[in-house]
Structure formats: C-alpha cells, structure tokens
Amino acid sequence: MSEDDRESPEQAAGSRHVRRPRPHGRRARRIDPAAEPGGSTPGVAAGRSDEQRRALEEARHALRVRRGEDAAPETSPAASGDLPRGHRAAAARPEPVLTPAPQAHGDAHPHGDRDPAPDHEPDEPADHEAGPGDDEAAPASASALAADGRREDVEEHDDHVVHDDHEAVDSHHEDDDEEVEDHEDDAHPFDGFAHEQKRRSPLHILPVLLVLVVVLAVGAGAVYGYSWLRGNVSVGQAQDDDFTGTGSDEEVVIEISEGDTGSDIAKTLTDKGVIKSAPPFVRLFGTSQEASKIQPGSYRVNTKMSSASALEALLDPSSQTGLRVTIPEGMRMKDIFERVSKTTGIPEKDFEKAAKNYTDYGIPKNKADSPEGYLWPGRYDIPEDASAGDVLTMMWERMETELDDLDVAPEDREKVLTLASIAEKEARDPDDYGRVVRTLENRLEGAGDAHGKPMKLQLDSTVAYFSGSDSISTTPKQRETDSPYNTYLHEGLPAGPISNPGKATLEAAADPPQGKWLYWVTVDTSTGETKFADTYAEHEKNVAEWKQRAASKDADG
C-alpha cells in the first residue's frame, strides 16, 4: 500500500462529524460547489460528481446485497470499461470504499447497527492479493483521494464535511438509507406481503370462523346425544339390568294414574319390584305402538318380571284389578256414596262415618261442616282393599288439583265451589254456566236494577237440596221451611255447595262473563233453553213465555 493511500492521523481525526438536528426536513439539500462563490472549477466539479455517482451506486448495490434483494455480481461495477483504468482498480477493491470512517472518542456511527465492524484496523484497508493493474491503480487512487481531500460537500443545516472517498460513500450510503426509509423501504422482501396483509379485508377469516362454529355445534350435539343415550337408552348396559321371564309367583297391585308417562310407569314398577330397572322398560314403552293403550287404574302383576313381560301384563285387561266407578258432574254426596258402595261393597254407613270426620282425609274445614262439593267427579279405579276414607281422600286430591290449576286461592274455594254447584243444578247448557254465576253475584251485590241493594237469590235448587228432592221444582211449603240452604228466606249464598261440580262449572265460577243480569228462567224444560233479564219487567215476559210453552205441552198430552 502506498503512502498516499494511507490516512494521516490528522485526516483520521478530521473524519469525525457531529450530526445536528435538521429543522427543515429529513433530507439535507446538496449544494453544487460550482454554483457557490469560491466553488471549484466546472471541470473539477464534474469529475467529483461522477465519483460520487459511482460511490452512490456502489453503496446502493451493497445495501441490496446485504438485504438479500440482489446477488452480489461476480465483478464490481467499477470493472466496467467506461471507467478510467485507475478508477477501475480502485473500485475493484472489496470493501474499504464502503467502510465507514472511524469514529473519534467512541462516537457511534449513525448506521452502526447496519454495517458490521471490520475485523481490521479502521485506518488500514484490508490486505488482498494484488491483481493486474494494481500497481498502476494505486497512484490513480491516491490522486483521487487527494482530490477528494481538497473537496468539500456542503450540506445546508448539517455542517457535514466529507474528507475522503470513505466519507463520501458513507454520506451517500446514509442518504440512500434515508431515501429508502422515506419510500417505506419498498425493497424489503416482506414489505409487499405486509402491505397486502393491511389491505386484506377482515372477512377473509369468515370461512375459518364458520368451520369452527360447525365443528363446535357437531361436537356439542355429539356430547348431548351421548349423554341422552346413556341416561335414556342405557348404551352398553349389561343384561343383568333386566329380569328375565314372566316373574315370580308373588303378586303385587300397582296403580297407574291418569297422565302417567312411560317413565312414571317404569318408576312405579321398579318401586314395587316388578322390574329390575327403569331404562329397559322406557325403551320398550317408547318403541311400542300399543303402549298408549294402557289405561289408568289398578293392575295385579307378578314381581321380578322382564320389561317386555311387564308391558304385556299392563296391556292385558285381565291384569286390571280394583273396582271402577264413574261419578258424573253435579252429583250429590249421598248419591256418590250409594254408587261407590254398590261397586266396591264398602258399606254406605262407612262413608257417612268418614264424612263426619272429613278433615281427617285432607278436606278443608268449612261452614257447612261437610265434604259436599269437595269431591271431584270422574272415573276411579278403587283398590279392592280401599276404605271409605281412602275413597274420600282420592276424590278430594283430584278436586284440589283442579282448583290449583285454576289458581283459586284457599280462602276463595268455598265460595267458588258453592257458586259452581248451583250452576250445575240451575243450567243445562254449558254456555249458561257463566251467566248463572254472574247473575248470582249481581244479586248479592245489588248491581244494576237492584240499585245497590242486595237481593235474595230465591233458588229452587237450594230448597230442593235440603228437602232431599230430586226435582228442581219446589212447593210453597218447602220454600217456607227454615234452613241455612233456603235462599228464599235468607240472603246471601247457602251454607255450602249443593252438589259436586265439574270442570266447566268451576271455570265459570272462577271467571264469569260480564253482564247486568238479575233474573233468569228456563223457558223450555225439555231443551233447557234459558233466558236472562236485567229488569223485573223483562223477566215477567220471559216467565209468561215459559207458562205458555208449558201449557202448550200439556195440551198436546
């Protein structure tokens, strides 16, 4: 290496520069020395401009190689025949041209994080094998370095002095970095992907979300289905979950209530020891078309039966036991006792005795001190060993259920039952049940034409009840008989219900229609046609119609 190629200590020290803030933007404006007063001659400026352009191209090329954008060429750009011989030799040197100038006093180079530090001393170029023409290139390089040492790049707002080719390359390198940064570094191999990611719509993840939703739904359905199968179909259960055969010689009586489901029946059979477990029976019940034909009532069956045998027994009419009796709506208590006694063989006196102690069987205490009106009509399968008290309990529990379903409060039940029991006797058409109840309440309240004064109900049905007459019509003597049920003599409702009402009259009593009626009369006793009136004058016309129709029937014989 020639002496001219070495930097003097003064040059090394002078290569340090301090970057000052740039108040007028990121890029410093280059000033053409030839345009400034005292600048170099045009020839010198032009020569310097070519060298700076080449150095800038080399810096950009080195930057692209370092970022992986371009492969390093086999020969340096300086090897082109367009360059003078001396510059070709100087440009062919590997890296010293691009190596930043050493920093004095430990100052970090502004691009120190980009260019790796050389392994050799910064003030000495790396040793290399001399190629052809190196002896001639060295003086030319020295002359170029000397010429560059006499030139200065003046940057507005920066005070940065370039002393040699190394500093020029560094300045161009820095400017190129800033230019690349200003243009979002679009040469980066991943920049296009990043920008594409920013431009992509969020909807591109919609298919993934849909797939996830479908997978979760299928998974949840599978879990639920498996749980259901385990609980209801008993997947994988062993054969010992069910008995085999038609059962033992021991018999039991079971009771199937109205509205029982397959699971309810299975529980009853399991509790009585008829079947071993519920799931096998539930499966059979659900798949059998005949299972819906099982009737409420009592059944005598064997214990330790298979589920299939138990189902067959419940479908066999001969398995039914107990005594079936049907109680119509509006039947009086004494008639109920008589009918049940004839069917079951339970003496009527047992029912009369039980009626006196009605509260022992769950029936609430009332003013009439009687279970009359609290016994639900309907069909009953009475067990063979049932007592009179058991029958009263069965009938009251059914009535209580109906009252609960209608949301009738306990304190209102006696009144509702009494009104419904009267409607059962006074009207024959279910459409008239509600009108009868509303008329009774209007008279009790003195509504409409009563001008606020409560009226006596004057009902033949209540007189017939305490008289024991099966006919609604009464005689003057009966109507004059004193009784808490005589509504001709006493105001208000009778002492208690006069029959045992059914569902339709209970619904009418719990929620009667609106109206101002105060009277009614059945104008046709054969059909039950009834007419209602708001005033007494209108009522008299209806009574006259009733008499006329009755006379016509009598005349026809």
Residue 263 DSSP SS3: helix
- Interior/surface letters 97-124, b for 16+ CB within 10 angstroms, e for the rest: bbbbbbeeeeeeeeeeeebeebeeebee
Element (H, E) at 520: strand 519-524
Q: How confident is the model over 309-345, as pLDDT tens digits? A: 999 999 998 898 878 899 999 999 999 999 999 999 9
Residue 211 has pLDDT above 90, yes or no: no
Q: What is the pLDDT of residue 501?
A: 97
How confident is the model over 435-439, as a mean pLDDT?
Answer: 97
Integer Cα distance of 473 and 327 in angstroms? 24
pLDDT averaged over every residue in the chain: 75
CA gap 18, 157 in Å, rounded: 12
Contact between 152 and 39 (Cβ < 8 Å): no
By the 8 A CB rule, do 242 and 280 touch?
yes
Quote the pLDDT of residue 65. Answer: 77
Confidence bin at 58 (pLDDT 50/70/90) = confident
Q: pLDDT for 343-361, tens place per residue?
A: 999 999 999 999 999 999 9
Q: Within a 13 Å sphere around the CA of 530, how many CA atoms are in the beta-carbon half?
A: 20
Span of 49-53, 66-70, 146-150, 445-449 with lowest mean pLDDT: 146-150
Res 383 pLDDT > 50: yes
Q: Find all residues with CB under 8 Å of 527, minimum gap 6, and list them.
A: none
What's the pLDDT at 240?
67
| Structure-block tokens of residue 291 | 């299972």
Own/partner long-range contacts of 229-232 (Cβ < 8 Å, ≥24 apart):
232/279, 232/282, 232/283
Distance (Å, whole) CA 455 – CA 460: 15
- pTM to 2 decimal places: 0.54
The residue among 85 and 530 whose pLDDT is bigger is 530
- Average pLDDT of the segment spanning 206-217: 81
